[in-house]
Amino acid sequence: MLSLAELARISGAALEGDGSRLIFGVATLKLATPEQISFFTNKRYRADLASTAAAAVILAPDQRDAYSGNRIVSDNPYLAFARISAALNPEFSADVGIHPAAVVDSTALLHESVSVAATATVGAGASIAEGCVIGPGASIAAGVEIGANCRISSRAVLLERTRLGQRCRIGAGAVLGSSGFGFANDAGRWVPVPQLGGVLLGDDVDVGSNTTVDRGALEDTILERGVKLDNQIQIAHGVVVGEDTAIAACVGISGSTHIGKRCTVAGGVGFVGHLEIADDVHITGMSMVMRSILKAGVYSGYPSTTNSDWRKNTARFQKLDQLARRVITLERELNQINQAESSVDDK
Amino acid sequence: MLSLAELARISGAALEGDGSRLIFGVATLKLATPEQISFFTNKRYRADLASTAAAAVILAPDQRDAYSGNRIVSDNPYLAFARISAALNPEFSADVGIHPAAVVDSTALLHESVSVAATATVGAGASIAEGCVIGPGASIAAGVEIGANCRISSRAVLLERTRLGQRCRIGAGAVLGSSGFGFANDAGRWVPVPQLGGVLLGDDVDVGSNTTVDRGALEDTILERGVKLDNQIQIAHGVVVGEDTAIAACVGISGSTHIGKRCTVAGGVGFVGHLEIADDVHITGMSMVMRSILKAGVYSGYPSTTNSDWRKNTARFQKLDQLARRVITLERELNQINQAESSVDDK
Amino acid sequence: MLSLAELARISGAALEGDGSRLIFGVATLKLATPEQISFFTNKRYRADLASTAAAAVILAPDQRDAYSGNRIVSDNPYLAFARISAALNPEFSADVGIHPAAVVDSTALLHESVSVAATATVGAGASIAEGCVIGPGASIAAGVEIGANCRISSRAVLLERTRLGQRCRIGAGAVLGSSGFGFANDAGRWVPVPQLGGVLLGDDVDVGSNTTVDRGALEDTILERGVKLDNQIQIAHGVVVGEDTAIAACVGISGSTHIGKRCTVAGGVGFVGHLEIADDVHITGMSMVMRSILKAGVYSGYPSTTNSDWRKNTARFQKLDQLARRVITLERELNQINQAESSVDDK
């Protein structure tokens, strides 16, 4: 529970209204009670704004007049909401210490503030810094290094040669450091190529549940600071994802492809290997990226092109049957003209 | 082992033949022995029907004359087969009780009939109703509620704020209740938005192996009664899937999309967020659904349209190079006509 | 550490240079030190070849003149590299024996050379042959059979009726033997069909992390000798994958589809069910295979056709908007001609 004045301060936004009003939580405009704060960022919910019972609403300056109650006014109302919600909903704190049913190798180095849940395993020589929380059944292999204040969720697997920065969050069932898919062909049979690199995560990297990140073949697979990966993503050996790039679920990135900084990749996109993707590239859902992208912008399609080209061509595809019929009509008409001409010539 | 008469009664179908014949199992027409029953639902196996050694065959009334042996005749022969096979192949019964190598919090509420396998973990305040089977290494977080007769397979993870109805089956490695992928952008950096909702499953919901279902941002993610999810599916925060909808493997559904009742979604389909999909909608494989679908029917494509439009346009696409060449020919011919005309004019 | 002469012998390639030179590891041309060996197989790295500090380079006979240092010359330099790297980087050897925190049923049959890590579970009657390594938290169900020298990584799950040949490698979080997705429809509700088959892996099969392989409905799901599966793949019930076929990440194969021998399937491809795919078929990324493929070759597209057709049609699609505009121009011009003709006729 915090006062509106405190929440305004925490969010760095302007308060317009009763700063002493106490707020107990957050909710949608529609469901908020008079003890909760809500936010307005999507015009499709304008009707809800008019009828909300919320104690206060977070909104942008140009929407200020649409609501007469207590307001938190911010140029980035969704960011203000994120901060206010985090203040009102602190992450649960795990029990500090090693659960008796966890299995921690005697040579592992764990800060005394670390929490290790039941049936988690920590291998020889692994190091886990202060404030980390290791969930039930998580598996930390020998030699893995985990920076301060990371959260490793249930059943996540961090294999050999994986190193994490600070404040990383690894989802349940995620696997970091599995062997890359590398084989040489010997007269039709596949011979595995040893995968000798590691997996390196910068600070503030999130990895979603059941996402997989292979270790590199010869060089590390790298997720730079601030990278956010959703669930069910596959990152192959030797991929590099640049700072602050966010990747939605079910994306697959093939080996040695490098993605730039501040990119966004929508769900289900695939990249072939050995590509270079520039900074500030945005790729829409289920695109297949077959060539390097050297210029910031929005890209789409199968295979991908600029979004504007893809939109135009796709609109035409949706009427391709009609177009083909129009070509048939043209052919028939032209044929008639040609026949008429030849009959004229014959005269 | 059951008699044909008993199997006919269990399946609600008509027996034609020797009801006292004892049946020990089910098999395909091709592999069935004289102790087994088989079924005929796909005309491509008509030759196998003629030569089968099965003790009896389940088939539809209009196929009755194609087989002269013992018959179970049903308007829905595959359903009759499902019931007969279930009667002949009861699910294995797990040992009742908590394995000594399971870790169950003392405040969890487990019915005495529950089975908890080795290395499974059950958190504080979780409740598990009668007849549930919790597999090896499954992880049930604090406060999770599980209805009667659910089966949670090996290494499945049920995180905080997950609630299951009765008779749900959760596949190995599935994750329910992971944090949704929600971030606000702060001058290029991603700030996590607390994900405060839960995951709610109705009765008779199946979730496949390694499928992930995120908890909601502000409201619950919901799989209604009878929903069937295959493997490797991603369900984002705030999605609602309606009763009796079946979704095949590798599908991704983005945040806040609502799918209707009795829909079928084939493998690899993707949905963008915030869509409304009507009841009785059927979507074919690998389609990308970018807009709400307000009418029952079959839809296909990238992006999706009606299946009939997609089929027509795709058939044209398969000959697009030819079509382009025909346009070039038309242009050349028209150019010749125009030149001829202008040369006529010049005369 | 091995001498160049020994490495040449191990790789079956020709040595040109100082056979007594000692090699301590492998690296890329760019990063190799004078204690390491590198390889040259991709012309894009020709500049690195000129400047490498490596002790020796593995390359093809026709590239021999491009490098004047110690050479290992092979017709298949990447294969020679794979063998040399394996010799220099032996797989870590796990501690033999059963960790006290593993849970092995008293009726399971484990060879004395087997390694079972902490929190792994092995069910009743399972058998594990010599040299196998079972990782932390892996779950081996009752009756599972594992051939010699297999490696089961952390948290992998092998369910009932799964049998493995020799030297298989199962990735972290992979699930073998989960229930296939089979239901009969009873007036709108789904009734599960018992899934009675198993999962059978030949020798030398690799399964990637978080990949899922369902057990068959009535017959086994089969991965033949030498099959290589990458991460995040879904193999449905009754699928058969032929010898030495390699499948990249995020592929989904629907029920009862049979894939031939020596095929390659790129990332994100989907197959509908009940198809027959011939030997030596190669399918490019994110294709959707809707029909059987009876002839060796390269196939692509949504839905898939021959790669050459797909390339031509896709190139046209990338200019489809232009094509449509050209058709509009043709229609306008033809209309003018027709009007001119009719006005001539009117005269």
Q: What are the pLDDT digits (tens) for C63-77?
A: 999 999 999 999 999
- The rounded distance, in Å, linking the Cα atoms of C317 and B316 is 11
Q: What is the reported pLDDT for A341?
A: 74
**CA of C22, closest CA in chain B: separation in Å?**
46
Q: Do B178 and A81 touch (CB under 8 A)?
A: no
What DSSP letter does each residue of A163-185 carry, written as one string?
A: EE-SS-EE-TT-EEEEPP--EEE
Q: Do B208 and C210 touch (CB under 8 A)?
A: no
Sheet architecture: strand order including A56-59: A14-16, A70-73, A56-59, A36-39, A25-26
**CA of A149, closest CA in chain C: separation in Å?**
24
As a whole number, mean pLDDT of residues A289-304 equals 97
Q: Do A218 and C27 touch (CB under 8 A)?
A: yes
Q: What is the reported pLDDT for B342?
A: 77
C-interface mutation test, from A144, A218, A320, most C Cβ less than 10 A away: A218
| CB contact at 8 A, A137 and A155 | yes
Q: Do B249 and C250 touch (CB under 8 A)?
A: no
Catalytic residue among A237, A258, A274, A282: A237
As a whole number, mean pLDDT of residues B112-130 equals 98
- The rounded distance, in Å, linking the Cα atoms of A27 and A32 is 5
Residue A318, pLDDT > 90, answer yes
Closest Cα in chain A to C332: A330
Q: What is the reported pLDDT for A340?
A: 83
ipTM of the modeled complex: 0.96
Percentage, residues of chain A above pLDDT 90: 94
Domain covering A97-309 assigned CATH 3.65.10.10 in the classification? no
Q: What is the reported pLDDT for A231?
A: 98
Nearest by CB to A178, which of C85, C208, C302?
C208
Q: What is the reported pLDDT for A67?
A: 96
As a whole number, mean pLDDT of residues C288-310 equals 97
Letter for the amino acid at B249?
A
Q: What is the reported pLDDT for C39?
A: 97
pLDDT digit string, tens, across residues A155-200: 999 999 999 999 999 999 999 999 999 999 999 999 999 999 999 9
| CB contact at 8 A, C289 and C275 | yes
Torsion of CA A24, A25, A28, A32, to 10 degrees: -20
Q: What is the reported pLDDT for C338?
A: 85
As a whole number, mean pLDDT of residues A334-338 equals 89
What DSSP letter does each residue of C101-115 carry, written as one string?
A: TSEE-TT-EE-TT-E
pLDDT digit string, tens, across residues C159-204: 999 999 999 999 999 999 999 999 999 999 999 999 999 999 999 9
Contacts of B184 in chain A (CB under 8 A): 76, 78-79, 81-82
**CA of C186, closest CA in chain A: separation in Å?**
32
Least confident of A294-308, B86-100, C128-142, C252-266: B86-100
Cα distances (Å, whole numbers) of residue C35 to A327, C16, C50, C88 = 67, 17, 17, 12
Q: Do A208 and B337 touch (CB under 8 A)?
A: no
Nearest by CB to B173, which of C173, C218, C305?
C173
Beta bridge partners of C116: C98, C134
Question: B279-292 b/e with 16+ CB inside 10 Å = b?
Answer: ebbbbbbbbbbbee
- The rounded distance, in Å, linking the Cα atoms of B14 and B8 is 6
**pLDDT confidence tier of residue C91, bands split at 50, 70 and 90:** confident
CA-angle at A65, arms to A60 and A68, nearest 5°: 105
- The rounded distance, in Å, linking the Cα atoms of C177 and B319 is 42
- The rounded distance, in Å, linking the Cα atoms of C240 and C222 is 5
Catalytic residue among C99, C111, C237, C282: C237
Q: What is the reported pLDDT for B343?
A: 75
Q: What is the reported pLDDT for C127?
A: 98
CB-CB neighbours of B245 under 10 Å: 24
Q: What is the reported pLDDT for A162?
A: 98
Closest Cα in chain C to B79: C184
CB-CB neighbours of C95 under 10 Å: 11
Residue C101, pLDDT > 70, answer yes
pLDDT digit string, tens, across residues A138-152: 999 999 999 999 999
Q: What is the reported pLDDT for C19?
A: 97
Contacts of C101 in chain A (CB under 8 A): 103, 121
CA-angle at A197, arms to C150 and A133, nearest 5°: 85
Question: C327-344 b/e with 16+ CB inside 10 Å = b?
Answer: beebbebbeebeeeeeee
Choice between C152 and B337, residue whose per-residue pLDDT is larger: C152
Q: Give residues with Cβ within 8 angstroms of A164, minimum separation 6.
A: A144, A145, A146, A147, A150, A158, A170, A201, A205
Closest Cα in chain B to C333: B334
- The rounded distance, in Å, linking the Cα atoms of B207 and B151 is 10
| CB contact at 8 A, C231 and A214 | yes
Percentage, residues of chain B above pLDDT 90: 94
Q: Residue B19, CB half-sphere, CA atoms under 13 Å: how many?
A: 9
- The DSSP 8-state label assigned to residue A216 in this structure reads P
Q: What is the reported pLDDT for C94?
A: 86
- The rounded distance, in Å, linking the Cα atoms of B207 and B227 is 8
Instruction: Tell me how long chain C is.
Output: 347
Contacts of A232 in chain B (CB under 8 A): 212, 232, 234, 252
Q: What is the reported pLDDT for A148?
A: 98
Nearest by CB to B172, which of C178, C185, C236?
C178
Sheet architecture: strand order including C212-214: C103-104, C121-122, C139-140, C157-158, C175-178, C212-214, C234-235, C252-253, C270-271, C288-289
Residue A339, pLDDT > 90, answer no
Nearest by CB to B267, which of C252, C303, C334?
C252
**pLDDT confidence tier of residue A342, bands split at 50, 70 and 90:** confident
pLDDT digit string, tens, across residues B52-75: 999 999 999 999 999 999 999 999
Q: Do A183 and C246 touch (CB under 8 A)?
A: yes
Q: What is the reported pLDDT for C345?
A: 64
Q: What is the reported pLDDT for B44?
A: 86
Q: What is the reported pLDDT for A186?
A: 96
Residue C344, pLDDT > 70, answer no
Rg over alpha carbons for chain B, rounded to the nearest Å, is 28
Q: What is the mean pLDDT of chain B?
A: 96
Neighbours of A (≥3 Cβ pairs closer than 8 A)?
B, C
What DSSP letter does each residue of C112-169 carry, written as one string?
A: TT-EE-TT-EE-TT-EE-TT-EE-TT-EE-TT-EE-TT-EE-TT-EE-TTEEE-SS-E
Nearest by CB to A191, which of C82, C208, C209?
C82
Please provide residue A220's backbone torsions phi and psi, each rounded to the nearest 5 degrees: -70, 150
pLDDT digit string, tens, across residues C16-27: 999 999 999 999
Neighbours of B (≥3 Cβ pairs closer than 8 A)?
A, C
| CB contact at 8 A, A283 and A299 | yes
Closest Cα in chain A to B250: A250
**What is the CATH code for B2-88?**
3.40.1390.10
pLDDT digit string, tens, across residues C25-63: 999 999 999 999 999 998 889 999 999 999 999 999 999
Boundaries of every domain in chain B: 2-88, 97-309
As a whole number, mean pLDDT of residues B154-167 equals 98
**pLDDT confidence tier of residue A345, bands split at 50, 70 and 90:** low
Contacts of C179 in chain B (CB under 8 A): 169, 171
Specify the pairing of strand A151-152 against strand A133-134. Answer: parallel
Residue A347, pLDDT > 60, answer no
pLDDT digit string, tens, across residues A12-35: 999 999 999 999 999 999 999 999
What DSSP letter does each residue of B21-83 carry, written as one string?
A: -EE-EE--TTT--TTEEEE---GGGHHHHHH---SEEEE-GGGGGG--SEEEE-SSHHHHHHH
Residue A60, pLDDT > 90, answer yes
Q: Give residues with Cβ within 8 angstroms of A217, minimum separation 6.
A: A180, A182, A193, A195, A196, A197, A237, A238, A255
**pLDDT confidence tier of residue B347, bands split at 50, 70 and 90:** low
Which helix H or strand E contains B268, and what residues bound it?
none
- The rounded distance, in Å, linking the Cα atoms of C328 and C314 is 21
- The rounded distance, in Å, linking the Cα atoms of A36 and A56 is 7
Q: What is the mean pLDDT of chain C?
A: 96
- The rounded distance, in Å, linking the Cα atoms of C327 and C330 is 5
- The rounded distance, in Å, linking the Cα atoms of B264 and B248 is 8
Residue A93, pLDDT > 90, answer no
Residue B126, pLDDT > 70, answer yes
Instruction: Tell me how long chain B is.
Output: 347
Nearest by CB to C190, which of B92, B226, B249?
B226
Rg over alpha carbons for chain C, rounded to the nearest Å, is 28
Catalytic residue among B99, B111, B237, B258: B237
Q: Has A237 been annotated as catalytic?
A: yes
Which helix H or strand E contains C79, and what residues bound it?
helix C77-88
Q: What is the mean pLDDT of chain A?
A: 96
Most distant CA pair in chain A: distance in Å? 106
Residue B346, pLDDT > 70, answer no
Torsion of CA B142, B147, B150, B155, to 10 degrees: -10
**pLDDT confidence tier of residue B344, bands split at 50, 70 and 90:** low
Single pTM value for the model = 0.96
**CA of A337, closest CA in chain C: separation in Å?**
8
Residue B92, pLDDT > 90, answer no
